[in-house]
Structure 1
Amino acid sequence: MFHKLLVAALFFSSIASAQTNAGDKLPVDPKVTVGKLPNGLTYYIRPNKMPEKKVELRLVVNTGSIMEDDSQQGLAHMAEHMAFNGTKNYKKNDIVSFLQSIGVGFGNDLNAYTSFDETVYILPIPTDKAGNLEKGFDILEDWAHNVTYLDQDIEEERAIILEESRLGKGAEDRMFKKILPELFANSKHGDRLPIGQDSIIKSFKPDEIRRYYKEWYRPELMAVIVVGDITPAKAQELVKKHFGSLTNPPGVRPRSYAEMPPYKNSSAIFATDKEATNYSASLNYSAFKNAEPTTVGAYRKDLVQGIFVSLMNQRLQELTQKENPPFIYGGVDFGSYARNYDAFSAFVSTGTGDVKKGLAALTEEVERVKKFGFTAAELDRAKKTRLNNIERAWNNRDKTESSAYVDEYVGNFLTQEPIPGIEKEYEYAKSLLPGITLDEVNNVTAVFKDEKNKFIYAMGPEPKAGDSLPSEADLVAVVDNGSKLELTAYEEKNIDADLLKTMPKAGKILSSTKDAV
């Protein structure tokens, strides 16, 4: 999962110095200290004074809803919620109250999230007052192995989780709750949405959530990340003090990863919500096995894929600039739905317009690229843009905030995302980009171009009285018909039109004044 902050987004446009070989291992940025305690806990430490007097702490746990038993659906998410409800050293609400007292706001600063494959606790600590950092490590340690999960707290949290499930966080969340089981059809992910099953949340016995916490919150599955205004020696001392005594429980199951089988047939769903305001549609191909690059050669392959995505997005952007465009925004990506997998998907937003028209135009452009690829001029522009971007990031390397580095290290721990550092990235980009060929970029479609079965979803507001929306069969037909079109290759067009249809007449200066400086 490549992070989307500037430095990370530019990571696609990196790798390989003039002397490197395809099999060379990617280095680790020498400015970050990466280590492992005897109990298996990994730590990342980097001094950084952007901003000063602040340290970003993270507790990353390599587990999520995919590791729940059938009787625990939703408890990975609930276990994370309850870390804020009481620990061995901080009673109910004490954590939030203390952090708010030192200027750490709940939600904006202090936060956590649970997904299919990970749980991450986010804790920024101002260090302008003595003792703040020590308490921050106290809290992080308690989250790792001292959450109390008292019966009364569990009962109170049940009601909160059920209300969250009922209302959702908004129209988009409610619609995706309908879409995701279909997107993940035939895989365990479809039965392990992090929000869980209401029936289980209502009735699970308290020991179930304690069992989940004890089994999966163990040091060999954890990383502690410390980035900010701190010396490496002090950070390492605090990590060892607070996490060195954690132990792995005996007889626990190994961490496993779920498979993502290909779609068995083409299908679609149209999800609506009364609070939705815009229509959109997405075309999704089957997921395929993939891993983060660990060598120069693998990283080069990712760079080629990144260029493909940028070129495809540029084509779609051009369509939005036409008179009466078929959609107002379009994009593609190779997203990571599940650990160790990627999948090609394409997306359009049509505003209040015709979602079928937008989906048809999207499908046509995807098919055009599959059949004809891109042009040499397009590739040349993309290379220049990427090199300019990485150069800009390198020029601003001393202005990178701690939160950006933290995101990189979360990715490295969970998926082995490379972290060579911006200096190395710039060096690699200058030598690698010129060698990327048009055939290589066009061949990126090989991982999905022959896939016959797709999943299509559309979403938007409920239809008004008398109106109707496309059926699921209509959506499938739009995509199927798009693959049968007789298409022509893309042609670059010069814009000959004047910015103004009629040139204004020259005026006259009526008066002028000069002010003293």
Structure 2
Amino acid sequence: MNLIKPIAIAFLLPGLFPLSQASPTIMLEESRNILGLDTLSWEAPLPFDQEVKTGKLENGFQYFIRKNVEPKDRVTMYLATKVGSILETEEELGLAHFMEHMNFNGLKHFPKNELVDYLQRAGVRFGSDLNAYTSFDKTVYQLPIPSDDPELLKNGLQVLRDWAQDALLTDEEIDKERGVVLEEMRGGRGASQRMRDQYLPIMLNNSLYSHRLPIGTEDIIRNFPYEVLRRFHEKWYRPDLQALIIVGDIDVEAIEAEVRRLFGDLKSPENPSEHIEHKVPLLDKNQFIAVTDPEMTYTLGQISIKHPEEKVETVREFRRSILKSVYSNMLNARLSELGQSAHPPFIQASVGIDEFLGGLDAYTAFFVAKPNEFEGGFKALVRELERVQQHGFTETEFGRAIVSIQKNNETAYIERDKKKSDSYVNRYLNFYLEDSPALSNEDLYKLYKQLLPTLTLEEVEEIGRTFYVDANRDVIIMAPDKEKDSLPNQQQVHMWFGEVAGEEISAYDDKVSDLPLLSKEPQAGKIAAVKDIAAIETKEWTLRNGVKVILKPTTFKNDEILISAFSPGGTSLYDDSEYFSAAQAANLVNNSGVGQLNTIELRKYMTGKNVNISPYISERSEGVSGYADKEGLQTAFELIYGYFTEPRIEDDVFQSIITRSLSMISNQESDPSFVFRKSILENLYKGSIRRMPISEEGIKQIDKERALAIYKERFADASDFVFTIVGSFTEEEIKPYLENYLAALPVLDRKEEAKDLGLYEPEQGFEKIVHKGQEEKANVMLTYYGDYLYGEMENLNMNALESVLSIKLIERLREEESGVYGTGARASTNKHPKNRYSFTVSFGTGVDRYESLIASALDEINKVKQNGPLASDLEKFKIEQRRQLELSLKENKFWMGQLSGAYQREEDPTYINRYLEDLDKISVESVKEVANKYLKEDHLFKFILLPDEK
């Protein structure tokens, strides 16, 4: 659960379309037509999704079952339990989460680790498919499996039945899992955890929640008696607190009958413990805390104003939730615009009104401050909040926000029959656990469609006045130790609020442009040649200017078109002296406007358009990538043409990115993970600036004019570009855009190839130990590097080696030795500029165990080299690959990667049709051969991160 909003810069794209508003009188009249039912009023409860089969057994167990054929022959099953860490006693701290672990370590029908082994043999991936999570108020288990195998489907339901009440909880397995959970706890330690422990009591008003973090305490996990866990399981894993959610390509009636048979005999204790719904009390006071840590890399300020939770159960309440979204949309657009100014007052800022915890909602505003400029960032954020309080929003801002929500609603509705089962599972999961609405696709669409025109600007502004108040307000500051002296105290922050509120704040000026995106219409070209690649239902078109276009129409989505293009060259063609300008050129252009619109105008122009096109320049190529729907295709191709012919780097954008980049890296040397990564790269590539994280000196070397010149050079010649377009279009629909825009792109007919920079790892492996960090933990990376024999079968065998070793590393390091929480192997191969490979084993553990675990990992590698993998493990890999391919072949993203990658690597694009044949050729001997060829001792590099030396 994210108690502090994550730091992620999101660009909003508001547009230009004002919307007429309905008066309150009209709103009341229109309410009678909500969902097309004359009798429905504002106070009517939101209708439940009637397409799901629901039921409640006599023992209180509930179920939600729905047929959905996306993806075909798959079913997703969740067991939801209203059991979380908030229910724990002082002697049980961490046992709700520990119990979640134990449900994978011995069940009635799947003793010891047989559950994971059985499901892996069915093609289910542990971690990415088979998983679970525990929070304060719930524990949820997830199992997506194939539904075309009756035996597997039957056993999948049995797994869920065992999860519900039949964990074995043997002494041996409990003791083994203690070490795993302790390593999970150890892995989470660091600056964030240390600061969280200080501010959480303030944020949670010193409620029970602040003393019930799901991970628990080391003392309890290490020492709790077996019977304490068994009593917790017996007390809380009971049918009246559980529900089953099943969505997929299934026979609903048959599944319901099986659920009733399997789960009807679940028992509750004779005297069940009361399931108390705990609350976070409102204290009716403002709070403040500033915490620092030597390993914190940035300064974050958060204003959180708590309010009683507003449930969304009626039409009126649903409408109010939309008003909150509109408010946040408009205010975040302003903050994003301010962040793009030449001298931004903060690195990033955001506002939202969301559910919080324990019966509360929260109005949360946060910002990331520039180094030693906390006051300026704080006041700038508060000033924008006050600007809305004093002057409200403009009609044009309101119109853009409405149009944006309308477009999202239309897009979701168009794709309703392609909706994945997971989205439905989450709908019913949240209904059961959180009392959230579970509307049908039709009802959700109609609600938005009928409610949006009734919203008024005055109501949105009232949302701000209701939630942005001087009561129950927390100000939380997190910062590096070195900024401690520049941080304010509570009295200063209170004074800043007053100072900003007393300023003469001008109204927001919503600057929009009525100019078209492009300054002139392109001169259309023609198609020169067409090649049919019938084996994969793909066409290769060559345009007269040399541009090559790979077209694969699909029906996987109703209205999704993916676009990608590449050309050889990239930053490799520029000297080190120009590297930073070259490497940042496309990013600077992408963050600026294009054609006749500057960055702010462009974002407003893009409102209501389901379109995104971005240019890039990598080390060995340049190009564009993005997506559109049919309605947005013209805009997408206008953007492509504009990025080729009318790019720009705006002064404000350039200064903003430089300023924010310098701010973001100012404290990075305090982060142990950064120092570790930097040391690895420095030792592998002799400190080459092309491999090292960018430094302050590197940022200052970025030259705006040279960056734009380099960008224009890279996109001056379209004759060697290959475009790949995949999705819901026909050749007739796409042809005019190819002729009018791509065939009109400029050409120079130059012949370019990316340059081999000679940046390769040393031939002889070595060990490097880095000391950085306060926590008593170790991070280990064991990596083999070297030359590689690139080819289809070699790559497949390498992938198989990755899979079988990952299985063995988890079994040995986690399950047998209880020394890690997560581990695995990862293979990477490159064809260009030279056939190379890397093969990495990584894990985190205690400083007293890393050496023995390295030895164990290398022992597992040597076993594969000596004996080959177990045939059963290799079969797991093959089954997983077959099952994943069944899904991938129906995904636009998969085909985009396959086609674009094949052309970029100069490979056969139809290879996927032979993939399964080659998969069958993989053997114990072939994997053993690859292991011996590439996992050589003299090619092994050991990188180890340990704490600071005492």
TM-score range, shorter chain: 0.7 to 0.9
What RMSD in Å do the two structures reach over aligned CA positions? 3.0
Map 1:18-167; keep pairs closer than 5 Å: 19=38, 20-167=40-187
Shift of residue 354, structure 1, vs aligned partner: 4.3
Contact 1:363 1:483 in 2 (8 A): no
Residue 161 and residue 175 in structure 1: after superposition, are their counterparts in 2 closer, same or farther (change >3 A)?
Answer: farther
Q: Distance in 2 between matches of 1:65 and 1:365?
A: 38
Q: 1:326 aligns with which of 333, 336, 345?
A: 345
Counterparts of 1:267 and 1:290 in 2: how far apart (Å)?
25
SS at match of 2:463: helix
Query: Residue 494 of structure 1: CA displacement?
Result: 2.1
Instruction: Report if the CA contact (8 A) 1:84-1:93 is conserved.
Output: yes
CA contact (8 A) 1:270 1:472 kept: no
CA, structure 1 residues 205+379, in 2 after alignment: closer, same or farther (shift >3 Å)? Answer: same
8 Å contact 1:49–1:229 — kept in the other structure?
A: yes
The aligned counterpart of 2:255 is 235
3-state SS, counterpart of residue 352 of structure 2: strand
Residues 450 and 128 of structure 1: CA distance in aligned 2, closer, same or farther (over 3 Å)? same
Pick one of 248, 268, 273 that aligns with 2:289.
268
- Are residues 1:482 and 2:497 paired? yes
Checking the alignment, whether the CA contact within 8 Å between 2:393 and 2:508 is kept in structure 1 is: no
Superposition deviation, residue 236 in structure 1: 0.7
d(CA) in 2 for partners of 1:121 and 1:324?
Answer: 48
Task: Name structure 1 gaps, 5 residues minimum.
Answer: 2-13
What does residue range 239-250 of structure 1 map to in structure 2 within 5 Å? 239-250=259-270
Match of 2:317 among 277, 298, 303: 298
CA distance in 1, matches of 2:360, 2:471: 19
Measured in 2, the distance between the counterparts of 1:151 and 1:487 equals 69
Q: Distance in 1 between matches of 2:251 and 2:141?
A: 22
Deviations 1:444-468 (A, max 9, x none): 13443333453233345x45xxx43
User: 2:430 — aligned with what?
Assistant: 411
> After superposition, where does 1:174-213 map in structure 2 within 5 Å?
175-213=195-233
Spell out, residue by residue over 1:69-113, the C-alpha distance to the aligned partner (whole angstroms, 9 max, x if none): 122111111111111111111112111111222222121111111
| Structure-2 residue corresponding to 1:17 | 35
- Range 416-425 or range 371-380, more displaced: 371-380
- Per-residue CA deviation, residues 30-82 of structure 1 (Å, 9 max, x unaligned), is 21112111111111111111111110000000121111112211111111111
Deviation of residue 225 (structure 1)?
0.4
1:280 matched to 2:300: yes
CA contact (8 A) 1:64 1:76 kept: yes
User: Residues 473 and 277 from structure 1, CA distance in 2 versus in 1: closer, same or farther, beyond 3 angstroms?
Assistant: closer
How many Å separate the matches in 1 of 2:450 and 2:360? 29
One-letter code aligned to 1:442: E
- Assess, with a 3 A threshold, how the Cα gap between structure 1 residues 487 and 109 changes in structure 2: closer, same or farther: farther
Match of 2:58, SS?
coil
Provide the TM-score with structure 2 as the length reference.
Answer: 0.49
SS in 2 for 1:286: strand
Q: Match of 2:812?
A: none
What's the CA shift for 1:168? Answer: 0.7
Q: Match of 1:11? A: none
Whole-angstrom distance in 2 between the partners of 1:396 and 1:351: 42
Q: Contact between 1:55 and 1:124, CA under 8 Å: does it hold in 2? A: yes
Contact 1:63 1:118 in 2 (8 A): yes
SS in 1 for 2:221: helix
Aligned position for 1:363: 382
CA distance in 2, matches of 1:21, 1:436: 16
Find the aligned partners of 2:377 and 2:232 in 1 and give their Cα distance. Answer: 44
Aligned twin of 2:444: 425
2-side partners of 1:388 and 1:261: how far apart? 39
Corresponding position of 1:491: 508
Secondary structure at 1:239 match in 2: helix
Q: Number of paired residues?
A: 493
For the residue of structure 2 that corresponds to 1:131, the secondary structure is helix
Please state how far the C-alpha of 1:175 moved relative to its aligned partner: 4.3
Residues 1:161 and 1:511: Cα distance change in structure 2 (over 3 Å)? closer
Cross-structure match for 1:215: 235
Deviation at 1:437, TM superposition (A): 1.2
Check whether the contact 1:42–1:223 (CA below 8 A) recurs between aligned residues: yes
Of stretches 449-458 and 104-113 in structure 1, the one that deviates more from structure 2 is: 449-458
TM-score (norm 1): 0.87
Task: Report the CA distance shift for 1:226/1:480 in structure 2 as closer, same or farther (over 3 A).
Answer: farther
**Which residue of 390, 395, 414 maps to 2:414?**
395
After superposition, the C-alpha distances for 1:302-361 in whole angstroms (9 at most, x for unaligned) are 221221122222121111221122233322222333243211111223577845443332
The whole-number CA distance in structure 2 between the counterparts of 1:217 and 1:424 is 35
For residues 216 and 232 of structure 1, what CA distance do their matches in structure 2 show? 29
2:874 match: none
Contact persistence 2:111–2:168 (CA under 8 A):
no
Indicate if the aligned counterparts of 1:179 and 1:271 stay in contact, CA closer than 8 A: no
The amino acid of 1:166's aligned partner reads: R
**Could you tell me how far apart the structure 2 residues matched to 1:78 and 1:87 are?**
15
Distance, in Å, in 1 between the alignment partners of 2:254 and 2:230 is 33
> Residues 97 and 368 of structure 1: is their aligned pair in 2 closer, same or farther, counting only changes over 3 Å?
same
Moved more, 231-240 or 258-267: 258-267
CA distance in 2, matches of 1:94, 1:278: 45
Matched residue, 2:909? none
Residue 226 to residue 138, structure 1, CA distance change in 2 (3 Å):
same
Letter in 2 for 1:150: T
Larger radius of gyration: 2
Relative contact order (C-alpha < 8 Å, sep 6+): which is higher?
1
Q: Per the alignment, in what secondary structure is the counterpart of residue 224 of structure 1?
A: strand
For the 8 Å contact 1:261–1:287, the answer to whether it is kept is: no
Structure 2: state its 5+ residue gaps.
2-30, 514-595, 599-647, 651-704, 710-715, 717-745, 751-950
Q: Does 1:315 align with 2:334?
A: yes
2:210 maps to a residue whose letter is: G
- Residues 178 and 129 of structure 1: is their aligned pair in 2 closer, same or farther, counting only changes over 3 Å? farther
Distance 1:95 1:458, change over 3 A: farther
C-alpha distance in 2, partners of 1:510/1:24? 62
Change (3 A) 1:149 1:244: same
Q: Is 2:309–2:361's contact at 8 Å kept on the other side of the alignment?
A: yes
Contact 1:268 1:472 in 2 (8 A): no
**Cα distance 1:169–1:137, how it changes in 2: closer, same or farther (>3 A)?**
farther
The answer as to whether partners of 2:292 and 2:484 remain within 8 angstroms in 1 is no
Cα distance between partner residues in 2 of 1:384 and 1:371: 25
Sort the Cα spacing of 1:329 and 1:399 in 2 relative to 1 into closer, same or farther, 3 A.
farther
Q: How big is each residue's C-alpha offset from its partner over 1:162-181, in whole Å with a ceiling of 9 and x where there is no partner? A: 23223317754554344333
Closer/same/farther in 2, CA of residues 170 and 106 from structure 1, 3 Å limit: farther
Is the counterpart of residue 345 in structure 1 residue 364 in structure 2? yes
CA contact (8 A) 1:41 1:219 kept: yes
1:450 corresponds to which residue?
Answer: 469
Q: 1:174 to 1:146 in 2, by over 3 A?
A: farther
Query: Equivalent residue of 2:34, what SS?
Result: coil
The separation in 1 between residues aligned to 2:161 and 2:372, in whole angstroms, is 51
The alpha-carbon deviation at position 246 of structure 1 amounts to 0.6
| Post-superposition CA distance 1:215-253 (Å, at most 9, x none) | 111111111000011121122122112211112212112
8 Å CA contact 1:277, 1:352 repeated in 2: no
